[in-house]
Amino acid sequence: MSAVVIDASIVLRWMLQDEAERAPALAVRDRIVAGQFGPCQPPHFALEVASALVRATRAGRLRPSAVSPLIRTLESLRLGATDFDDFASAAADAALELGLRVPDAGYVVCARRTGATLITADRRLHDAAAASGIAVALLGELGP
């Protein structure tokens, strides 16, 4: 089993029908379900996904009644969360170091702490994570 950190951009691609790169995101989900990927997530992960789903609803991309079931499905995957101890300060430090938003830097911190590969569809996050020396994969470049 490969240890991975997936950011919200991956999950949103498998949850929202109109997202680009949906097929590779669904393949990541399927590898999690099959036990090929062992995910560990930063403490803010579920809230970031929930926030994006609410934004998608407000933009007319998703029915309001779909939000809670999608979040419950995500929660049922039991994605492990990293330790909360000094996480916010570490994410703030990484954000300043890498020029990222604090939530995005949280994925880098999680990958650093766990030794996992970060998987993202966000090119800016990918490039900053790669520059910081952690293992990172861009969704569109993932193999089967």
Domain limits, the chain? 2-141
Kindly tell me if the per-residue pLDDT of 29 is higher than 90. Answer: yes
pLDDT given at position 144: 56
What's the rounded Cα separation, in Å, for the pair 81 and 86?
Answer: 14
% of the chain with per-residue pLDDT over 70: 96
pLDDT, one tens digit per residue, over 107-142 is: 999 999 999 999 999 999 999 999 999 999 999 887
**Residue 26 banded pLDDT, cuts 50, 70, 90:** very high
**What CA–CA distance (Å, rounded) separates 111 from 63?**
33
Distances in whole angstroms, Cα of residue 35 to Cα of each of 11, 24, 38, 85: 17, 17, 7, 27
CA-CA distance, 24 to 88, in Å (whole number)?
30
Task: Tell me the pLDDT of the chain averaged across its residues.
Answer: 91
Domain 2-141, CATH homologous superfamily name and number: 5'-nuclease (3.40.50.1010)
More confident residue, 112 or 77: 112
Higher pLDDT, 80 or 103: 103
Nearest to 119 by CA among 94, 143, 91, 90: 143
- Res 141: pLDDT: 87
Distance between CA 72 and CA 92 in Å, rounded?
A: 29
3-state SS of 53-99? HHHHHHCCCCCHHHHHHHHHHHHHCCCEECCCCCHHHHHHHHHHHHC
pLDDT band with cut points at 50, 70 and 90 for residue 74:
confident
